[in-house]
Amino acid sequence: MTALFAIYGAGGCGRGIMPLAREQLRGRGAELVFVDDHAAGDRCNGHEVLSFDEFCATPATEKRVAVAVAQSTSRATIAKKCEDAGLGFFTVRASNIVEMDDVEIGEGALLSPFVTLTSNIRIGRHFHANLYAYVEHDCVIGDFVTFAPGVQCNGNIEIGDCAYIGAGAIIKQGTLERKRRIGAGAVVGMGAVVTKDVAPNVTVVGNPARPIGARG
């Protein structure tokens, strides 16, 4: 009997994370699978695909999951289901990420190639940072936050739980006295340039970023 690790989600996000997990676990004697209740076929990119119930029923010395679902609220729901089933989590980190001083990251993070985290940063649980995203100094990021590829999160920014920051978005830096705030559940559209705070559960787009439907 061996340890059983899973990438939860065989979609694009999961298939991008699987090679990183495979390299990270190399030599540890652990079996690595996908968990997905909706995937077609029983194998994907060389790995077995199990349903959630099959994964839970498979004997193992330990079981851990990395939830690779980009949509933040769906990721939170899946993580709760895993917790209720007594499953642990693991973090997947590309070998070439840059992490500087005093960076704290909660469990279950997925950090893709070329991600940079500078200094004095606090990040919550199940953070996704996709290709070439960066987080600058003195940022505070909540749980289940997603950064799509190329996000530029500059210094002194606070991001609430379950926010989604689209590909290539730029968030202007705040100050030590007043951080720029992206509210919980907010969505920042692809390529948006955020120069002001974003309220919770609001979607902003454009340069400068404005709420959808707002007039200049």
> SS3 of 160, please?
coil
> SS3 of 65, please?
strand
Burial class of residue 190 in the structure, from the number of CB atoms within 10 Å of its CB (0-12 exposed, 13-18 middle, 19+ buried): middle
- The rounded distance, in Å, linking the Cα atoms of 181 and 62 is 39
Catalytic residue, chosen from 47, 126, 128, 137, is 137
Residue with tokens 């980190």: 93
* 3 state SS for 67-131: ECCCCHHHHHHHHHHHHHCCCEECCEECCCCEECCCEEECCCCEECCCCEECCCEEECCCCEECC
- The rounded distance, in Å, linking the Cα atoms of 173 and 170 is 9
Cα within 13 Å of Cα(211), Cβ side: 11
> SS3 of 20, please?
helix
- Known catalytic residue at 137: yes
- The rounded distance, in Å, linking the Cα atoms of 208 and 168 is 14
* Residues with active-site annotation: 137
